[in-house]
């Protein structure tokens, strides 16, 4: 009998690799003899790289919303998500009925239309109920490869963390497009904030240099800056470290940041 399910929400900017990571994390967990339910929350996705067990598309028809209300792609996505909030109890019931160990929730491709609207946070809290939950924030390696890009990605991560209010773990997504040295440097920026400061001093221009000290202090105080885990869906690497971190969160209250 399953006493509680562990909810994992995958969030990140469009193109950061959420759906592929959902697919590969499912594969890894199942390969470790754990049972997994995969939830697709993107009304507009055509063929995600996994077989969803629970799917928002069964409740709202994005194409029909577009046609019926004469909306463009963005407007239709927003309207679909707003409409789906009314079905959040049904979605949760479907999830509960699967009686699995883990629930992977692949959030909509455009984070902006999900996180910074009221429907996104409502959907997240409605789905997880009182079950333990964590969000995985994907940093896109294309952006995080420079110190300035990393800094702006971390700020965006804190902003999203506040929107959803869940313990949050940062992942470096698609590290396979970087060299090993680059990946190592990014991981170190997360472990020792002064190294990020040094990198910013060397590469950043006026405004970022002026801001960096205050931002670095904040990141250090929040402790979110520690532990960006590189996880490659392509090479199936990093999942053991991620799993260890998830265990730490789910076993120790739901508190990633203490």
Contacts with 74 (C-beta within 8 Å, 6 or more apart), sequence order: 110, 113
Q: Are 230 and 172 in contact (CB under 8 A)?
A: yes
Residues numbered 22-51 forming contacts with a second copy, rule: CB under 8 A: 44, 46
SS3 139: strand
Q: Give the nearer residue to a second copy in terms of CB position, either 161 or 170.
A: 161
Identify the residue among 158, 177, 187, 195 touching a second copy (CB under 8 A): 158
Which range touches a second copy (CB under 8 A), out of 50-58, 98-106, 139-147, 179-187?
A: 139-147
**116 belongs to the binding site for a second copy (CB under 8 A):** yes
Residue among 145, 133, 139 nearest 256 (CA): 133
Measured between its terminal Cα atoms, the distance across the chain in Å is 31
Beta-carbon count within 10 A of 206 CB: 7
- The distance of closest approach from Cβ of residue 98 to a second copy in the complex, given in angstroms and rounded to an integer, is 28
Identify the residue among 38, 103, 133, 151 touching a second copy (CB under 8 A): 151
**72 belongs to the binding site for a second copy (CB under 8 A):** yes
**130 belongs to the binding site for a second copy (CB under 8 A):** no
Beta strands in the chain (DSSP E): 6-12, 36-40, 54-55, 102-106, 133-140, 168-173, 229-231
In the complex, which residues of this chain contact a second copy (CB under 8 A)?
Answer: 13-15, 44, 46, 72-74, 78, 109-113, 116-118, 140, 142-143, 148-149, 151-153, 155-156, 158-163, 165-167, 205-208, 210-211, 213-215, 217-218, 221-222, 257
């Amino acid at each position: 009998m399953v006493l509680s399910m562990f909810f994992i929400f995958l969030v990140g900017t469009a193109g950061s690799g959420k759906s592929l990571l959902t697919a590969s994390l499912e594969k890894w967990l199942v390969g470790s003899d754990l049972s997994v339910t995969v939830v697709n929350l993107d009304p507009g996705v055509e063929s995600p790289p996994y077989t969803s067990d629970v799917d928002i598309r069964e409740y709202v028809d994005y194409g029909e919303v577009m046609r019926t209300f004469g909306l463009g792609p963005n407007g239709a996505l927003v309207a679909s998500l707003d409409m789906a909030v009314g079905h959040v109890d049904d979605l949760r019931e479907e999830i509960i009925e699967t009686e699995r160990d883990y629930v992977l929730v692949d959030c909509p491709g455009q984070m902006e239309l999900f996180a910074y609207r009221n429907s996104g946070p409502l959907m997240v809290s409605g789905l997880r109920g009182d079950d333990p939950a964590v969000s995985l924030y994907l940093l896109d390696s294309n952006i995080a490869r420079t110190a300035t890009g990393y800094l702006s990605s971390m700020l965006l991560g804190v902003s999203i963390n506040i929107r959803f209010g869940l313990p949050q773990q940062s992942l470096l997504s698609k590290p396979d497009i970087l060299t090993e040295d680059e990946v190592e440097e990014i991981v170190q920026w997360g472990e020792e904030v002064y190294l990020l400061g040094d990198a910013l001093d060397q590469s950043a221009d006026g405004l970022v240099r002026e801001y960096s000290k205050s931002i670095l202090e904040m990141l250090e105080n929040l402790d979110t800056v520690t532990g960006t885990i590189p996880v490659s869906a392509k090479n199936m690497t990093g999942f053991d470290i991620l799993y260890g971190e998830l265990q730490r969160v789910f076993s120790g209250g739901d508190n990633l940041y203490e």
